[in-house]
Structure 1
Amino acid sequence: MIKSNKLEKFSECVCMDLFENLRAFEFDLIFFNPPYVAGNVDDTSDMIDKAWNGGINGSETIIRFIKSVDKYISSGGFVYLVLKIEIIIN
């Protein structure tokens, strides 16, 4: 999508476990489509399985993201979080 819209000079696509490898860095835009299927993350080392596995109740990754995103979004920045309507976060 970045290439097809000729945005290589203005954007960077990053793949990691949330903000694990970032130090002091702020983003103007964060788009996150989190895993939400309930499962045990520790049961697998397969990256495909980890991609859909949202933790024991399906919302663990979402909660981790919400608790930490404010450290990485710039003032006036935007966060887009894609969720399924059935997800219940306590």
Structure 2
Amino acid sequence: MKKLEIINLLYNLVLDRNIRDWERSQLMCALRNIEAGKPVKAEITDVEIHFRPLAIRSNLTPKAAEFYEKITSDSLFSPGLGGVLESFTGKK
């Protein structure tokens, strides 16, 4: 996924009325940092780290959970959590 696509994805998620303020603040922080020139992968990894405890408890809003699933699978970046789990279990 290209930088502009990720920025658009983050903007759309931030503008969604159905996400929590805390989720929005984490996404806004990543968005500001990416726009300031920080590495996209590092910022998305930070979002993953912040979202992980809520994701484990299935406590993210649906759109944030969908985004978390995207960033932890191998569809957005290299392996991620999804790819790591697949390598251990042999399943996706």
TM-score, normalized by the shorter chain, greater than 0.5: no
Give me the TM-score of the superposition, normalised by structure 2: 0.30
Q: Which has the higher strand share?
A: 1
Greater relative contact order (CA < 8 Å, ≥ 6 in sequence): 1
User: Which structure would you say has the larger Rg?
Assistant: 1
TM-score, scaled relative to structure 1: 0.31
* Larger helix proportion of the pair: 2
